[in-house]
């Protein structure tokens, strides 16, 4: 339900007139509009680049004439590519790679230059971006555009690198994004979830209510200005564990996940959130208990209908050689 105090303007973020109209009388902007499917971005390159990059350019051109106090842009953990790792000598590795996958081997864990295994550790903001999909490239362009354009025009730019957001209201029928939404849609339709690789890849799942609070802090706290912050729960979980937990929450223990044993091109093995900077600068701490969050998600999903498009997605990626 839209707050009666809110004004709703519907339109395409690339449409200058609509964006100018939406900016009238506005003090701050939260920029969320985006095409959001990592795999899909690898073949719908123009559509993704148009909405994500050109859309952000249109927004900032409009802001030149109508500057606001602050712009908060939703960036993504996808810009990191592989997360940060520690090698056998205790050194930190920023450019972990999976050369064995390129050689067609089902060896999922990244290795160092000598082929030794690496240990994943929480990823902080200073890790160098490693852009491995068009979506990641787009999110990085949005982030840089925000910082490059805000300060010269007297505005404050803030970027939040969101990890895996979940919760009621999330899009259920997009098979390219939101692993919990995809699994939930499968369970709702009586189908077992598909898990790429072996399911031991680790991510950070953060509840939408925590993310909403992070945006509020990013909008109003003076010390947020000019910053880029990771927003996650600070806890890492394997995709397989998450599928099992959601099956329990949705009462579908009978549907055990199909483990595909293949990787999608551009997918990374592990990336989870180092929340230190957001805690120090914004006082941010994720509060939602994961199991309770899943129970809430399950309750909401049960009231929804969702089109299960996972087979379509798999066929699209396989037809283009984007699954190996």
Ligand X SMILES: NC(=O)c1ccc[n+]([C@@H]2O[C@H](COP(=O)([O-])OP(=O)(O)OC[C@H]3O[C@@H](n4cnc5c(N)ncnc54)[C@H](O)[C@@H]3O)[C@@H](O)[C@H]2O)c1
Binding mask 94-133 for ligand X (x = CB under 6 A): ----------------------------------------
Q: How far apart are CB 253 and ligand X at their closest, in Å?
A: 26
CB of 74 or CB of 298, closer to ligand X: 74
CB of 36 or CB of 322, closer to ligand X: 36
* Reduced 3-state DSSP string for the chain: CCCCCCCCCCCCCCCHHHHHHHHCCCCEEEECCCCCCCCHHHCCHHHHHHHHHHHHHHHHHHHHHCCCCEEEEEEEHHHHCCCCEECCCCCEECCCECHHHHCCCCCCCCECCCCCECEECCECCCCCCCCCCHHHHHHHHHHHHHHHHHHHHCCEEEEEEECEEECCCCCCCCCCCCHHHHHHHHHHCCCCCEECCCCCCEECEEEHHHHHHHHHHHHHCHHHCCCEEEECCCCCEEHHHHHHHHHHHCCCCCCCCEECCCCECCCCCECCECCHHHHHHHCCCCCCCHHHHHHHHHHHHCCCCCCCCHHHHHHHHHHCCCEC
Q: How far apart are CB 165 and ligand X at their closest, in Å?
A: 4
Q: Which of residues 198-217 bind ligand X (CB under 6 A)?
A: none
CB of 51 or CB of 101, closer to ligand X: 51
CB of 34 or CB of 322, closer to ligand X: 34
Q: How far apart are CB 107 and ligand X at their closest, in Å?
A: 27
Binding mask 126-165 for ligand X (x = CB under 6 A): -------------x----------------------x-xx
Q: Phi and psi of 291, rounded to 5°?
A: -65, -40
CB of 148 or CB of 212, closer to ligand X: 212
Q: Which of residues 177-196 bind ligand X (CB under 6 A)?
A: 178
CB 162 within 8 A of CB 76: yes
Which of 76, 123, 132, 228 is the binder for ligand X (CB under 6 A)?
76
Q: Which of residues 22-51 bind ligand X (CB under 6 A)?
A: 32-36, 51
CB of 13 or CB of 29, closer to ligand X: 13
* Site size toward ligand X, by CB under 6 A: 18
CB of 118 or CB of 297, closer to ligand X: 297
Q: How far apart are CB 117 and ligand X at their closest, in Å?
A: 28
Q: Which residues bind ligand X (CB under 6 A)?
A: 12-14, 32-36, 51, 55, 74, 76, 139, 162, 164-165, 171, 178
């Amino acid at each position: 339900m839209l707050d009666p105090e809110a004004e709703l303007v519907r339109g395409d973020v690339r449409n200058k007139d609509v964006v100018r109209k939406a900016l009238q009388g506005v003090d701050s902007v939260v920029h969320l509009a985006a095409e959001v499917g990592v795999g899909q971005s690898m073949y719908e390159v123009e559509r993704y680049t148009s909405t994500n990059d050109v859309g952000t350019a249109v927004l900032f051109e409009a802001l030149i004439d109508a500057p606001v106090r602050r712009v908060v842009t939703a960036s993504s953990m996808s810009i990191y590519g592989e997360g940060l790792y520690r090698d056998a000598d205790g050194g930190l590795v920023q450019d972990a790679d999976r050369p064995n996958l390129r050689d067609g081997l089902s060896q999922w864990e990244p290795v160092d230059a000598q082929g030794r295994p690496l240990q994943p550790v929480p990823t902080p903001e200073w890790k160098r971006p490693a852009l491995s999909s068009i979506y990641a490239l787009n999110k990085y362009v949005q982030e840089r555009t925000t910082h490059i354009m805000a300060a010269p025009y007297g505005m404050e730019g803030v970027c939040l690198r969101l990890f895996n957001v979940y919760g009621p209201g999330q899009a259920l029928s997009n098979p390219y994004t939101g692993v919990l939404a995809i699994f939930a849609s499968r369970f709702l339709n009586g189908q077992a979830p598909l898990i790429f690789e072996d399911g031991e890849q680790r991510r950070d799942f953060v509840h939408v209510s925590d993310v909403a609070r992070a945006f509020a802090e990013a909008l109003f706290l003076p010390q947020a200005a000019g910053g880029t912050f990771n927003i996650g729960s600070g806890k890492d979980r394997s995709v397989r564990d998450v599928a099992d937990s959601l099956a329990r929450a949705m009462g579908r223990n009978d549907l055990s996940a199909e483990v595909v044993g293949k990787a999608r091109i551009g997918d990374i093995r592990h990336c989870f959130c180092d929340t230190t900077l957001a805690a120090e600068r914004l006082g941010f701490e994720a509060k939602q208990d994961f199991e309770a969050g899943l129970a809430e998600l399950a309750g909401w999903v049960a009231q929804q209908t969702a089109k299960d498009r996972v087979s379509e997605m798999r066929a699209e990626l396989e037809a283009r050689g984007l699954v190996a």
